[in-house]
């Protein structure tokens, strides 16, 4: 048992990930995404790192939140926990009203496939499938249906695979594999995969990190379109242009939200 301190109402965290946190009651039901006092602890040999120390945040539908902070402050760890790719050792992640954290991996994967678009720097393209097949797989896994603001059943079909390829400027590279793409193409292909399931939450880790100015602008337009359609966006970034389009900026430092 590790005792965490120095971060407000710290829970106790056991090595099996069970937390002493009290489940939040009625916490902001309108929020698309809620994190309540997230803790994440890593041990490598003798080295122990508390990567998240009680991080709480909410992202509403249609809102864009940028997460900024120095290298190693916990941004990617936070994103992985919010996406259900990683489990926090303490605290809770909710998607809509549904708890995402502390559920079996298969359930988290199912919820993610249906509701969340994740753009990690290398994680969302399968190397043995070409770009078109990657997008098709993400669409199928999400069993897309209209769910965003103003959408009624059958009224707003999600962008098709061909349209997505066109929008990210990869029509001519649709048959290529991840290993054959440039950094900028990879980022755009990853974005197409992240948007393929018509997500109502988009989580993106440095989506414009390797892009030139024009391509960055193009990617930002795609993300803004998604927010305009009612999705909640959370973007980890170092880019002033991304920060400029955000409704809110969250500063992380040493695993804690500082402002």
Ligand X SMILES: Nc1ncnc2c1ncn2[C@@H]1O[C@H](COP(=O)(O)OP(=O)(O)OP(=O)(O)O)[C@@H](O)[C@H]1O
Binding site for ligand X (CB under 6 A): 42, 44, 49, 51, 69, 71-77
Q: Greatest CA span in the chain, whole angstroms?
A: 56
Closest CA to 90 of 197, 150, 16: 16
Closest distance to ligand X from the beta carbon of 191 (Å): 19
Nearer to ligand X, 74 or 84 (CB): 74
Q: How far is the CB of 74 from ligand X (least distance, A)?
A: 4
Q: Are 27 and 56 in contact (CB under 8 A)?
A: no
Rounded least distance, CB 72 to ligand X, Å: 4
Helix ranges restricted to H, 67-130: 75-83, 105-115
DSSP class of residue 216? H
- The least CB distance from residue 1 to ligand X, in Å, is 19
Are 251 and 257 contacting, i.e. CB atoms less than 8 angstroms apart? yes
Pick 53 or 114: Cβ nearer ligand X: 53
DSSP secondary structure letter of residue 257? E
- Give the Cα separation of 55 and 38 in Å (integer): 5
Please report the DSSP string for 13-69 in residue order.
E-TTS-B-PPPPSS--TTEEEEEEEEEEEEEETTEEEEEEEEEEEEEETT-EEEEE-
Return the number of the residue (42 or 140) whose C-beta is nearest ligand X: 42
77 or 101: CB nearest ligand X: 77
User: What distances in angstroms separate CA 6 from CA 10, 77, 170, 171, 172, one per listed residue?
Assistant: 8, 19, 48, 51, 53
Closer CB to ligand X, 110 or 251, in the complex: 251
Q: Which is nearer to ligand X, 121 or 171 (CB)?
A: 121
- Minimal distance, residue 242 CB to ligand X, in Å: 14
- Compute the residue count for the chain: 259
Written as six digits, the tokens of 100 are 């995402």
Cβ closest to ligand X, residue 81 vs residue 168:
81
As measured in angstroms, the least distance from the Cβ of 185 to ligand X is 21
For the CB of residue 68, give the shortest distance to ligand X in the complex, in Å: 10
- Neighbouring CB atoms inside 10 A of 189's CB total 27
């Amino acid at each position: 048992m590790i005792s965490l301190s120095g971060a407000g109402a710290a829970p106790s965290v056991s090595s099996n990930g069970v937390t002493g946190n009290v489940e939040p009651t009625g916490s902001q039901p309108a929020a698309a995404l809620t994190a309540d006092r997230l803790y994440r602890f890593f041990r490598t040999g003798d080295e122990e790192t508390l990567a998240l120390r009680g991080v709480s945040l909410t992202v509403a539908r249609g809102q864009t939140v940028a997460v900024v902070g120095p290298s190693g402050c916990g941004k990617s760890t936070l994103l992985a926990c919010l996406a259900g790719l990683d489990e926090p050792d303490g605290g809770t992640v909710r998607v809509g009203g549904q708890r995402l954290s502390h559920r079996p991996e298969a359930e988290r994967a199912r919820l993610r496939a249906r509701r969340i678009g994740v753009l990690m720097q290398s994680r969302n393209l399968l190397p043995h499938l070409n770009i078109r097949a990657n997008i098709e797989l993400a669409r199928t896994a999400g069993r897309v249906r209209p769910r965003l603001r103003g959408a009624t059943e059958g009224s707003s079909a999600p962008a098709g695979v061909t349209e997505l390829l066109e929008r990210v400027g990869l029509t001519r590279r649709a048959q290529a594999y991840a290993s054959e793409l440039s950094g900028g193409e990879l980022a755009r292909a990853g974005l197409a995969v992240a948007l393929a399931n018509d997500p109502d939450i988009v989580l993106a880790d440095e989506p414009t990190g390797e892009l030139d100015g024009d391509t960055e602008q193009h990617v930002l337009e795609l993300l803004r379109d998604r927010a305009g359609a009612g999705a909640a966006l959370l973007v980890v970034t170092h880019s002033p242009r991304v920060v400029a389009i955000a409704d809110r900026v969250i500063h992380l430092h040493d695993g804690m939200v500082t402002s």
